[in-house]
Amino acid sequence: MLIDTHSHIYSEEFDADRNEAIGRAKLAGVSHIVLPNIDASSIDRLASLSRSDSEYFYVANGLHPTSVNVDYRKELELIFSDNTFASLTNVVAIGEIGMDLYWDDTFVEEQKHVLDFQLSYAKERKLPVIIHCRNAFGQIMDVMSAGYRSGMTGVFHCFSEDYEAAKQVLDMGFNIGVGGVLTYKKSTLPDVVARIPLTSILLETDSPYLAPVPHRGKRNEPAFVACVAEKLSQIIGRDYDDVCETTSANAKKLFNLN
């Protein structure tokens, strides 16, 4: 059993062959897929896929940091409306949320504010969070330290920081999300995952992005989470089945999946 804890398979990149991609995921042993939202424009797609099979797809609702701009108030209003929550089945987390200062730091203050809002929303409803962090680890930790750490759970998805940062994430009681980057030649992630407990690792694809070797450069899809599990098993010297079972148990616990 494998769980893809982060896939955007509802996006238009899969419009031509979504059912085939889902079939391949099932063949590869993927038992559950968590679908994180991006912004208000992606809710309808997310809702219709989650409704198509509510025992296979689980939803994280939230506003992605790269979609934060001058209109963020309207976005938050739409995303966190009763209507939106009514249209989504199986909301298991708030995500993806966080900060991204890689391409553009024009809206850094707005990103902080939006992260803060979504963290308090999640905390109030006792939901875990899926954190997107790019070139912004210190800023995210600053926002999170403002009273949110205690009692919150979640995952830093597609983790790409160093061991010291990983330790801070683990000390907070959060998990580390590991995807295709683990398989890349120049990645420093193998050294990090070798030093952290398997019980804190979640597997993910972030499909359609960041396809693992040997699919690097092509469209990623949930079935390829098996390549990540394979690589992780080599790095830490544990059985493939053990890696799949333990990381799936981690995901089930965090997102309260059946």
User: Residue 31 to residues 26, 103, 239: CA-CA distances in angstroms?
Assistant: 7, 34, 19
* Total interface residues for Zn ion by CB under 5 A: 1
Q: Which stretch binds Zn ion (CB under 5 A): 83-91, 108-116, 204-212, 224-232?
A: 204-212
Q: Which of positions 172-201 make contact with Zn ion (CB under 5 A)?
A: none
Residue number, 57 or 235, with CB nearest to Zn ion? 57
Residue (of 5, 18, 71, 24) closest to 45 by Cα position = 18
Residue (of 72, 75, 96) closest to 206 by Cα position = 96
Q: Which stretch binds Zn ion (CB under 5 A): 15-23, 107-115, 182-190, 205-213?
A: 205-213
Helix runs in 88-195, H state only: 108-124, 137-145, 163-171, 189-193
Residue number, 167 or 215, with CB nearest to Zn ion? 215
CB of 7 to Zn ion, least distance (A): 8
The enclosing H or E element of 10 equals none
Length in residues, the chain:
258
CB of 150 to Zn ion, least distance (A): 26
CB of 58 to Zn ion, least distance (A): 14
CB of 40 to Zn ion, least distance (A): 16
Footprint on this chain of Zn ion (rule: CB under 5 A) = 206
